[in-house]
Amino acid sequence: MANKKSAPELNKEQWKARLVAMREDLSQLIALHHEPHAAPELDQTTVGRVSRADAIQEHEMASATQRRRQQEIAKIDAALSRLEEGEFGFCVTCGARISDGRLELDPTTPFCVKHAK
């Protein structure tokens, strides 16, 4: 691995607090907008294919948003695991230090700029 700094130099507790807060925010959004595979409801005041298509599209968009939120939670959980293992802030591919600026933008990133896709 590249020159690793100890966890305190990486502000482990600050990163943990930020990641946990991100996770809690997403969990609340998921709970707030959770509709267990409900079929799209049609607006009874409108008629036709367009209103049904709109309802289906809204349902699909909401489902996609919930899936993205679940994926983000998985990324946060992985970052928290790396933090506990002392691997947070280092590229999982090459072990190089991930820049602070990159981590500030996305603290869940497991890759340095070189290995980001």
For 60-73, what is each residue's pLDDT tens digit? 898 898 999 999 99
**Residue 8, pLDDT above cutoff 50:** no
Residue 75 lies in a domain: yes
What are the structure tokens assigned to 103, written together? 């981590």
The helix or strand, by DSSP H or E, that contains position 30, with its residue range, turns out to be helix 12-32
Instruction: For the chain, state the CA radius of gyration.
Output: 20
d(CA 93, CA 51): 48
**Residue 36, pLDDT above cutoff 70:** no
The number of distinct structural domains making up the chain is 1
Residue 72 lies in a domain: yes
The residue type found at 5 is: K
| Strand boundaries in the chain, DSSP class E | none
Output the pLDDT for position 39.
Answer: 57
Residue 86 lies in a domain: yes
Task: Determine the number of helices (DSSP H) and then strands (DSSP E) in the chain.
Answer: 3, 0
d(CA 114, CA 91): 9
- Considering the chain, what percentage of its residues have pLDDT values greater than 90? 56
Range of the domain at 56: 8-34+46-105
Tell me the pTM: 0.76
**Residue 21, pLDDT above cutoff 90:** yes
Residue 81 lies in a domain: yes
Residue 114 lies in a domain: no
User: Which carries the bigger pLDDT value, residue 52 or residue 99?
Assistant: 99
Output the pLDDT for position 95.
Answer: 95
User: Which carries the bigger pLDDT value, residue 43 or residue 104?
Assistant: 104
Q: What would you measure as the largest C-alpha separation in the chain, in angstroms?
A: 65
Residue 113 lies in a domain: no
User: pLDDT-based confidence at 16, cuts 50/70/90?
Assistant: very high
